[in-house]
Copies of this chain bind each other. A is one copy, B any other.
Amino acid sequence: MIKVVAGVDIGGTNTVYGLVERTGNIVAEGNLKTTDYPEIHNFVSALAGAITNLMKGKSGIELAGIGIGAPNANYHRGTIELAPNLAWKGIVPIAEYVREKTKVPVVITNDAKAAAMGEMIFGGAKNMKNFIILTLGTGLGSGIVINGEVLYGHTGFAGELGHTTIVPGGRDCGCGRQGCFETYGSASGLVRTVLNLLSEMKEESVLREIPPSHLSSKKIAEAAAKNDPVALEAMDYTAEMIAFGIANAVGFSSPEAVFLFGGLAKAGEVLFAPVREYVNQMVMPIYRGTVQILASGIPESNAAVLGAAALAWNELK
């Protein structure tokens, strides 16, 4: 019998899941619509049934555990807590519910922490004990690994670098505060920066032809690749702000590497090159040259399932 774990990524719209060997090989995968199950017990039944069905399709494998990545997940308590984008309200002990249905160990964490675990078990951080991953999407998530362990802190909610303040009195943030790293360093932060630059700069730009609600980090990166001056300036400013957040994180935990992941990271060298340069300028002299800025070593299409699976494999070791 070959042991596998199920990696499950619960999103506001879709839930994806897969059976994953210790090597990272995905044996089978599937998905279901999270929004079809406004009642948590129905969701858990559907998920357990889907995993059982996947197992039935393969012979010679045994389910050793389940790892779940979900928004507002609390690793310590096995709960999803007050998630604004899910129908399940309050504090939901989902790990316990899934364990009851499947009779295997279940562990849960948020998506950025799952990404960190994926990077450590299957990706570019296999030999690292101290690193940080930043997920640069609509929000800015972070997973921090210290001495080979994902950082949870006293509350289970450590590692919210996206909501550290980098500009006092700066941009309004969805968390109700101002100037959070997320409002400058995420994909949506890049869009906000473009809008600001369109007001400040006089240069022509293809970005002036796109309705603001249709702007995306992908379109801005494409414009930057064609030397659009506003896109280039926005990318450089965003790189500087990401570097600022990284430099302060380096002063805290002195990681060996910082991985950039998610939609904005796909921009590639037009983002990575200035981030590297600014980080080296901004950190204290004792840290210069000690921190690598790397792209994630996990293919994005499988990252959510592999991250959640890595969480389960790490628990079983």
A interface list, Cβ under 8 A from B: 129-130, 144, 146-147, 149, 151-161, 163-165, 167-168, 175-177, 244, 247-249, 251-256, 282, 284-287, 290-291
Contacts and interface: CB of A to CB of B under 8 A. Distances in A.
A180 to B, nearest CB: 9
Contacts of A155: 254, 286-287, 290
A254 B152 contact: yes
A296 to B, nearest CB: 19
Nearest to A257: B154
Contact of A253 (B158, B167, B254, B287): B158
A152 to B, nearest CB: 7
B146 A251 contact: no
Q: Is the interface of A mostly helix, strand, loop or mixed?
A: loop
**Shortest Cβ-Cβ A-B pairs, 4 listed:** A153-B254, A158-B254, A154-B256, A164-B251
A153 B256 CA distance: 8
Contact of A284 (B151, B154, B175, B248): B175
A260 B291 CA distance: 30
Copies in the complex: 2
16 contacts: A146-B147, A151-B252, A151-B253, A153-B253, A156-B254, A157-B287, A158-B253, A159-B252, A159-B254, A160-B252, A160-B286, A164-B247, A164-B252, A165-B282, A249-B252, A252-B252
A3 B160 CA distance: 43
Contacts of A248: 164-165, 248
A157 B284 CA distance: 10
Contact of A255 (B154, B176, B290): B154
Contacts of A247: 164-165
Contact of A252 (B129, B144, B256, B282): B144
Contacts of A290: 154-155
Given A164-B252, A244-B165, A252-B164, A146 B151 contact: yes
A96 B175 CA distance: 50
A90 to B, nearest CB: 15
A253 B157 CA distance: 8
Contacts of A254: 152-159
Contacts of A256: 154
A282 B251 CA distance: 20
Contacts of A147: 146-147, 149
Contacts of A255: 153-154
